[in-house]
């Protein structure tokens, strides 16, 4: 499987609980933090839910 790097670029302040929980589930806790995940349908769905808060790069 391919990998994807996800970087949080916008704050989770004043966001839905579900969006905050999604960021935490992705492993993002601070601004500019980068995590790497395997590309799965579940990860793609989480990224789509918070796409306005993160930057995605194919690794």
How confident is the model over 7-52, as pLDDT tens digits? 999 999 999 999 999 999 999 999 999 999 999 999 999 999 999 9
Residue 13: DSSP 8-state: T
Can you tell me the distance from the alpha carbon of 37 to that of 1, in angstroms, rounded to the nearest whole number?
10
pLDDT at res. 1:
79
Q: What is the pLDDT of residues 20-32, one digit of tens each?
A: 999 999 999 999 9
**How many domains are there within the chain?**
1
Phi, psi of 10 (to 5 degrees): -130, 150
What 8-state DSSP symbol labels residue 21?
H
Structural domain of 39 = 3-58
Continuous H helices in the chain? 17-26, 41-49
How long is the chain? Answer: 59
> Which CATH number characterizes residue 28's domain?
3.30.1390.20
pLDDT given for residue 17 in this prediction: 98
């Amino acid at each position: 499987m391919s990998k994807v790097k996800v970087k949080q670029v916008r704050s989770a302040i004043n966001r839905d609980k579900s969006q905050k929980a999604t960021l935490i589930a992705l492993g993002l806790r601070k601004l500019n933090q980068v995590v790497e995940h395997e590309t799965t349908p579940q990860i793609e769905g989480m990224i789509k839910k918070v796409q306005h808060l993160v930057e995605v790069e194919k690794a």
